[in-house]
A and B are shown apart, each in its own frame.
Chain A
């Protein structure tokens, strides 16, 4: 069965500093990978996704993620965070037997931004 691990429950970063959120997945084939963000009052929004092709994917709000098959990782990065980036971030893997009909989410990483 597929699974996603986000090892960091909570990360605190200074505004303007760089950010990397870790995500490791377990899946037998080439996965469909996603990062979603949940902000208070904003619902759950897709940041970026990887289906195939270039392993470095760009998303909204200046985020990017890199798929590394050898490490079973899909870490999320941003060069300079803004206070508005404070939110809960979820990595997810889609089951390619179904397509991404079945998303398995990680437990999330809560990002706090300090001035």
Chain B
């Protein structure tokens, strides 16, 4: 019954590798997000997608490529991993309200990425 789920929960990999994190939501929301939380717990938005269309791209290196195959899924692929990519990555989803704004964001459990 998990609303927003992410896999894997932990990811340990070497520098230079390519890895993906998957996110799925079963809330029927039409907007999904990726956030990065650094070692100081600072949460910063990376991307948002609305109905599979990229809405927000916050100056993230192009090694990061989100992909939304459908409204319920937003995956994050990272090429050529660097030490600085080590962080916790959170997926979230929300629903556009009638006024054109969106409602509360619901977060997944996070994926802890460690790059060695």
Residues of chain A having any CB pair with chain B under 8 Å: 32, 34, 36, 38, 43-46, 49, 88, 90, 94, 96, 98-105, 107-108, 110
Contact = CB atoms under 8 A, between A and B. Distances in A.
A108 B90 CA distance: 16
A105 B42 contact: yes
B103 A100 contact: yes
B105 A88 contact: no
A105 B107 CA distance: 14
Contacts, number: 64
B55 A103 contact: no
Contact of B104 (A46, A96, A104, A105): A46
Given A94-B102, A98-B56, 10 more contacts: A36-B107, A46-B106, A49-B104, A98-B102, A99-B99, A100-B101, A100-B105, A101-B50, A101-B94, A102-B56
Contact of A101 (B41, B102, B106, B107): B102
Interface in B59-108: 90, 92, 94, 96-97, 99-108
A37 B104 CA distance: 14
Contacts of B41: 38, 88, 107-108, 110
B107 A45 contact: yes
Interface residues of B, number: 29
A39 to B, nearest CB: 11
Interface of B: 31, 33, 40-45, 48, 50, 55-56, 90, 92, 94, 96-97, 99-110
A104 B41 CA distance: 13
Contacts of A96: 101
26 contacts: A34-B104, A43-B107, A43-B108, A44-B90, A44-B92, A46-B105, A90-B43, A96-B101, A98-B102, A99-B97, A100-B101, A100-B102, A101-B31, A101-B33, A101-B48, A101-B56, A101-B94, A101-B101, A102-B48, A103-B45, A103-B105, A104-B45, A105-B43, A105-B44, A107-B40, A110-B41
